[in-house]
Amino acid sequence: MSHKEPQVVVLPPDKEKIKKLWRVALILLAVTVVEFIIAFTLPHGAMKTFLFVFLTIVKAGYIVGEFMHLRYEVKVLFWAVLIPMIFVVWMLVAFVYEGMMIIPQ
């Protein structure tokens, strides 16, 4: 029995799409560099933490939206993934706040 190799049609690279992916990569690296600058210039405190969390969410948005392609999925899928995460953020805020109320030994 002879196996015939399948006929595969290879399409040319989509230059525009690839350029866009590299642009997202550059943004991610740039944001990380900014985080480093903040880490060594600003004093520790609420402002610094807020900036770090904000920049992390920006990075997460680019990874999930562009790399994982969620931005271009159907609306139902988009919200099915995003809405539960709102509860996670709520839980994080609640527990960090609770933690501040615990008196250390």
Residue 16 binding another protein, by CB under 8 A: no
Place of tokens 């139902």: 76
Q: Is the dihedral of CA 65, 67, 73, 77 positive or negative?
A: negative
Residue 84 binding another protein, by CB under 8 A: yes
Q: Are 38 and 56 in contact (CB under 8 A)?
A: no
Nearest alpha-carbon partner for 62 in 10, 22, 17, 13: 22
Residue 44 binding another protein, by CB under 8 A: yes
The site for another protein (CB under 8 A) is made up of 5-6, 8-14, 17-18, 21-22, 24-25, 28-29, 32, 35-36, 39-40, 44, 48-49, 52-53, 55-56, 59-60, 63-64, 67-68, 73-74, 76-77, 80-81, 84-85, 88, 91-92, 95-100, 102, 104
